[in-house]
Amino acid sequence: MPVEAIIAPSILSCDFAAFGEGCAKTIEYGADWLHVDIMDGHFVPNMTFGPPVVAKIRQHVEPPAKKMGKGTFDCHMMIAEPKKWVKDMAKAGCNLFCFHYEAAFSTDADSPFETSEKKTTPQGLIRYIHEQGLLAGIALKPGTKVDVLWDILENKEKSELPDMVLIMTVEPGFGGQKFMASELPKIEALRKRYPDLNIEVDGGVGPANIDQAADAGANIIVAGTAVYSANDPAGVIKQLREAVAKRTGKL
């Protein structure tokens, strides 16, 4: 089954002083999802917001009627201890909890075991996210090789398989950075092995490089600056969608 083109503007570039209305308007402009960047000032050198703010913006955006549907809150957790926040994020209205592979081996505060057994694993974390009723995503920073995903994606246990992989094309932490084309081979390798996988690209993406990202095989497009600094955000969203749909054959 061909993967769908999904456009997920990064609300990090939205006006925080008018956040609720800005998020609602983004959906009206034709976005499918909202990409919600959560940063803890520890995993990345920047801080944003947490579950209380997510709950507030959920009051302005209808939750999705179906899995991965319009209004999905695609929460990109740039935090050092992802497992700790799954339940609170679920309560706040998150739909897809995307953690970083690089943080997946952090301490599991709920584990009854001592020391080394308190570590989570990516597979265990994905299962836990699913148990809380959320979709699970796994993200890779530019410095992390795509090979770390092979074992995770070959898992025979369905509840431990991610619903999406996110390839970062900037160092996570800030909007408005330059797109790193050097990361595209990761997307190509993933698409070659997994034709049905949802692959998200995030960082410096816009009309100038969407063809490269779509050619590599990304079907979920995050764009912050390109959407929110545009005179015609709806036009940019349409342009991004059409570029992906041209490759996938599915709008």
Contacts of range 229-232, beta carbons closer than 8 Å, 24 or more positions apart: 229/13
- Residue 137 annotated in ligand binding: no
Of residues 13 and 72, the one with the C-beta less far from ligand 5SP: 13
Helix, strand, coil shares of the chain, percent, nearest 5, are 40, 20, 40
CA distance 107 to 164: 23
Tokens of residue 222, six digits: 């995050």
First-last CA distance in the chain:
13
Minimum distance from CB of 171 to ligand 5SP (Å)? Answer: 8
Residue 22 in contact with ligand 5SP, rule: CB under 6 A? no
In the stretch 65-104, what mask flags binding to ligand 5SP with x, by CB under 6 A?
Answer: -----------x----------------------------
Residue 205 in contact with ligand 5SP, rule: CB under 6 A? yes
Give the number of other CB atoms < 10 A from CB of residue 148: 14
Of residues 58 and 76, the one with the C-beta less far from ligand 5SP: 76
Residue 222 in contact with ligand 5SP, rule: CB under 6 A? yes
Give the rounded distance of the alpha carbon of 2 from its chain centre.
Answer: 20
Of residues 48 and 120, the one with the C-beta less far from ligand 5SP: 48
Binding site for ligand 5SP (CB under 6 A): 10, 12-13, 35, 37, 76, 170, 172-177, 202-205, 222-226
